[in-house]
């Protein structure tokens, strides 16, 4: 008998929201699928080569931050003042060590800055120019704020200002399709990843530009440990996307993890319970959840969530809408 290969697994999301089949052109869908595939394969390579779950999570997120199609890194949404203010966090489920940055405007890959905060500082969260100085000292790539500019995000800001909206917005629409949105048509574009490595360790990370037209230094759930991100080997790794304020108010990621740990709740049920609480206070979004056996649940209460998963066999599974695009593995 040969020893059983320990499970490895990586799951990602690229935001949940009112994604509509009739508005998603084949070209746009292809663009999303291509980046999700590359993200999964990049994280998988880290895991297959014996890398850690935190490195796999960071590598998978860097691909999505570097792509203009997601609301993280390049292509992030604009604040009211016309800036890209980025938030990110990461957590190691073995040590409960964590790192985060918020409202940074010049760090090319905020997730790497969050990882550096976790690994190379005694702190958990650094913000603004302080975080940028730290990232530069760590040798991370610093860019001009204009690096993050993408025209359709700029157009979205103008639209949001006209409509006096503070919008969670994935922007799947082409410019000609952009119309005043109803609440149900809003989209969320944060990216995130959870991973299980060969050593049995879990990690989670999340990165975002936040909300279009946000003001006054608004920060959402993404860089807040226990809200947008959480990982604990005793329960699960989680990354969230959605209406950040409600995810903070429900301590969404921690709440989901503690239900699994203390109640032994199945992952999908724990995620759905949390999403129901979020819905009850007027929020919406999604959660990706992974445990140390490699079981996962990718749940959302919106019309769609960009998501994907890969395991030992290296086969990429990607889903956008509800249904069976991804094999159910949740226990
Ligand atoms: N949760 C993010 C925030 O509130 C937004 C998103 O998921 O799209 O900043």
Pick the residue whose CA is nearest to atom 8 on ligand 1: 188
Contacts of 32 (CB under 8 A, 6+ apart): 14, 69, 306, 320
Span 1-19, average pLDDT: 87
Question: pLDDT value at position 175?
Answer: 37
182 CA → ligand 1 middle, Å? 18
For the ranges 15-29, 59-73, 135-149, 199-213, the lowest mean pLDDT is seen at 15-29
pLDDT in tens, 34-85: 999 999 999 999 999 999 999 999 999 999 999 999 999 999 999 999 999 9
Alpha helix stretches (DSSP H) within the chain: 26-48, 53-66, 110-120, 128-137, 151-162, 244-249, 252-263, 267-280
Pocket test for ligand 1, best of 78, 211, 282 (most atoms within 8 A of CB): 211
Query: Which residue, among 71, 42, 12, 5, has the nearest Cα to 203 in the 3D structure?
Result: 12
19 and 303 Cβ atoms separated by less than 8 Å? yes
pLDDT in tens, 154-175: 999 999 999 877 766 543 343 3
Distance CA 53, CA 210 (A): 25
Pocket test for ligand 1, best of 87, 156, 168 (most atoms within 8 A of CB): 168
190 is catalytic: yes
- Tokens at residue 249, please? 């108010």
**Which atom from ligand 1 is nearest to the alpha carbon of 17?**
8
For the ranges 164-178, 192-206, 225-239, the lowest mean pLDDT is seen at 164-178
30 CA → ligand 1 middle, Å? 23
Q: Does residue 225 carry a pLDDT above 80?
A: yes
Domains of the chain in sequence order = 9-325 (3.60.20.30)
149 CA → ligand 1 middle, Å? 19
For the ranges 14-28, 75-89, 113-127, the lowest mean pLDDT is seen at 14-28
Question: pLDDT value at position 176?
Answer: 37
**Which atom from ligand 1 is nearest to the alpha carbon of 245?**
4
Q: How confident is the model at residue 183 (pLDDT cuts 50, 70, 90)?
A: very low
Question: pLDDT value at position 326?
Answer: 73
315 CA → ligand 1 middle, Å? 29
∠ CA 101-268-184, nearest 5°, is 70
In order, the DSSP letters of 274-314 are: HHHHHHHTT--EEEEEEETTS-EEEEESSSEEEEEEEETT-
Pocket test for ligand 1, best of 208, 229, 301 (most atoms within 8 A of CB): 208
190 CA → ligand 1 middle, Å? 6
Who lines ligand 1 at CB under 6 A? 15, 71, 168, 188-190, 208, 210-211, 220-222, 241-242, 244
Distance CA 111, CA 229 (A): 12
Q: How confident is the model at residue 23 (pLDDT cuts 50, 70, 90)?
A: confident
The reply to whether the predicted model has a pTM over 0.85 is: yes
Annotated active-site residue in 52, 54, 105, 190 = 190
Distance CA 169, CA 77 (A): 8
* Beta-strand relationship, 229-231 and 202-208: unpaired
Question: pLDDT value at position 5?
Answer: 81
Question: pLDDT value at position 188?
Answer: 63
């Amino acid at each position: 008998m040969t020893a059983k290969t320990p499970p490895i697994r990586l799951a990602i999301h690229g935001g949940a929201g009112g994604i509509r089949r009739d508005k998603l052109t084949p070209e746009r869908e292809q663009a999303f699928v291509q980046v999700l595939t590359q993200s999964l394969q990049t994280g998988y390579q880290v895991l297959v080569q014996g890398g850690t779950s935190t490195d796999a999570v960071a590598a998978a997120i860097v691909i999505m931050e570097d792509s203009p199609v997601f609301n993280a890194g390049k292509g992030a949404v604009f604040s009211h003042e016309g800036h890209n203010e980025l938030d990110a966090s990461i957590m190691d489920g073995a040590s409960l060590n964590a790192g985060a940055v918020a409202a940074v405007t010049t760090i090319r890959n905020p997730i790497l800055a969050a990882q550096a905060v976790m690994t190379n500082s005694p702190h958990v969260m650094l913000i603004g120019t302080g975080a940028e100085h730290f990232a530069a000292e760590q040798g991370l790539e610093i860019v001009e704020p204009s690096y993050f500019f993408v025209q359709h995000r700029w157009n979205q800001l103008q639209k949001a200002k006209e409509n006096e909206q503070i919008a969670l917005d994935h922007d799947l629409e082409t410019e000609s399709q952009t119309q005043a949105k109803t609440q149900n048509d809003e989209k969320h574009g944060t990216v995130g990843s959870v991973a299980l490595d060969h050593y049995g360790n879990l990690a989670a990370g999340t990165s975002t530009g936040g909300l279009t037209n946000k003001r006054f230094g608004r920060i959402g759930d993404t860089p807040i440990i226990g809200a947008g991100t959480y990982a604990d080997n005793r329960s699960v790794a989680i990354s969230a996307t959605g209406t950040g304020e409600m995810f903070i108010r429900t301590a969404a990621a921690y709440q989901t993890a503690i239900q699994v740990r203390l109640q032994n709740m199945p992952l999908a049920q724990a995620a759905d319970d949390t999403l129901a609480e979020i819905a009850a206070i007027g929020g919406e979004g999604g959660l990706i959840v992974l445990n140390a056996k490699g079981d996962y649940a990718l749940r959302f209460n919106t019309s769609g969530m960009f998501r994907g998963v890969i395991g030992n066999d290296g086969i990429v599974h990607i889903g956008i809408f509800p249904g069976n695009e991804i094999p159910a593995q949740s226990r």
